[in-house]
A = this chain, B = another copy of it.
Amino acid sequence: MPRLFYSILFYLAIPVILIRLLWRASKNPSYACRWVERFGFVPRIPIDQKVIWIHSVSVGEALASVPLIKALQERYPTYRCLVTCMTPTGSERIKTIFLKSVEHCYLAYDTPDAVSRFFERVHPSLCIIMETELWPNMINGCDKRDIPVILANGRLSLSSAKGYKKFSYLVRPMMRQLSWVAAQSGDDAIRFSQLGVNKEALSVTGNIKFDLIIDEALREKSTVLLREWRGPESRPIILAASTHRGEDEIILEAFAEIKSKLASVLLVLVPRHPERFNQVEALCLSNGMKVGRRSSGSIEPSLDVLLGDTMGELISFFGSCDIAFVGGSLVPTGGHNIIEPAAWGVPILSGPHLFNFTEASELLVRSGGMIICESAQWLADSCIQILKDDELRSKMGASSLRIADENRGALNRLLDLVDQAILR
């Protein structure tokens, strides 16, 4: 009954959703492509092809799912993976990484008819949802068709849990329909259980983002980049990764302060969203910085800021810097993947908003590998201290690497759950 009410509301909201889609398309034209998929008109998969369906909301979850999907392809060669997402940037990334080795489309909006069409066309045998984003009709559709649902790398921040609790009539039945919830941490597990997930369905597997593999090719690329960026002057390099609107100002304020103490320092600034590349470049210029673009291929030795305006390269940048700041944390976004710089053994700086990474950030901060900074001044002071003190820098790097290494293993625990679901 609450789900019926929810579905009616969803139908009523569709004009608004379409207007929002158009508005987004005006800023990022790829939102206008393949919109029929959002109503369930997705490409058909031949009916005799068995399908494992993995849903990743956006880029972060898509990247986290890569090792999982590669392992699934190896383990279950007779199945084909379907990877869905909600955003064009997520879609781009999925296509670049997997090429034609997986099926890919947008997830349908959560109305009963769109969901039906989606299931009819892709007929999955198993549904794996990455981290977050549960849709009542979608989950109910799985339940009705006897498709097991695994929430992989499940996380639920305190505030999301509070939001869910307000709609517990709708959320509770949905949570009970989940076959397995593989929670990132004990805190997440407690919150899922409070929202109605069955005790037998709950386990704490840890965060599969720790199961990141940095291969030789990547290492080589990073070494080459690092040499190029350091230049003959042997410049210290600060990477500011995945920055959001409002963060770049703080980063640039801190950077001006750092430059006044360490003139040769280079800032590699990588905004999270491509549609902001031009704005951020203009901001750097208005702050009196000399800016270059990574996409130009070359780097002049006189640059102050290198704008990382390419896609999919960030992981290698973490290996080409002395300090990595990870964004989405000075504004209340909840942080981005701080495990990637940890896996490279780089000292990490972050803002205070880390609610999507509380466990990893606790491990990193308490080990000494990461420092939380609350202001431009604080960021500047920390950078200057770390850049000037070689011992501190290598100690922080070693700590972050140790945390990254010690916490691997979630992927195998998750694959065990998948085995159970497929073989049941």
Cβ-defined contact, A377 with B353, below 8 A: no
Cβ contact of A362, chosen from B332, B365, B377, cutoff 8 A: B377
Among residues 352 to 371 in chain A, which have CB atoms less than 8 Å away from a CB atom of chain B? 352-355, 358-359, 361-362, 365-366
Residues of B within 8 A of A366 (CB): 378, 381-382
Residues of B within 8 A of A353 (CB): 352
Closest Cβ–Cβ distance, residue A257 to chain B (whole Å): 10
Cβ contact of A187, chosen from B185, B332, B372, B377, cutoff 8 A: B377
**A158-B250, A352-B352, A353-B352 known; A185+B377 contact, CB < 8 A:** yes
Q: Does A374 contact B (CB under 8 A)?
A: yes
Q: Does A83 contact B (CB under 8 A)?
A: no
Compute how far the CA of A355 lies from the CA of B376 in the bound complex, rounded to whole angstroms.
Answer: 12
Q: Does A186 contact B (CB under 8 A)?
A: yes
Cβ-defined contact, A362 with B376, below 8 A: no
Copies of this chain: 2
Cβ-defined contact, B377 with A359, below 8 A: yes
A/B interface sample: 20 pairs, CB < 8 A: A158-B375, A187-B375, A187-B376, A187-B377, A332-B332, A352-B352, A352-B353, A352-B354, A352-B374, A354-B374, A358-B374, A358-B377, A359-B377, A362-B374, A362-B375, A362-B377, A362-B381, A366-B381, A366-B382, A372-B372
Interface residues on A, range: 20 to 34
Among residues 135 to 182 in chain A, which have CB atoms less than 8 Å away from a CB atom of chain B? 158
Cβ-defined contact, B362 with A378, below 8 A: yes
Among residues 315 to 352 in chain A, which have CB atoms less than 8 Å away from a CB atom of chain B? 332, 352
Compute how far the CA of A375 lies from the CA of B362 in the bound complex, rounded to whole angstroms.
Answer: 8
Compute how far the CA of A378 lies from the CA of B187 in the bound complex, rounded to whole angstroms.
Answer: 10
Closest Cβ–Cβ distance, residue A158 to chain B (whole Å): 7
Residues of B within 8 A of A376 (CB): 187
Cβ-defined contact, B377 with A361, below 8 A: no
Per-residue 0/1 for A232-264: is the Cβ within 8 Å of any B Cβ (1 yes, 0 no)? 000000000000000000100000000000000
* Residue picked from A185, A186, A365, most chain B C-beta under 10 Å: A365
Compute how far the CA of A158 lies from the CA of B352 in the bound complex, rounded to whole angstroms.
Answer: 14
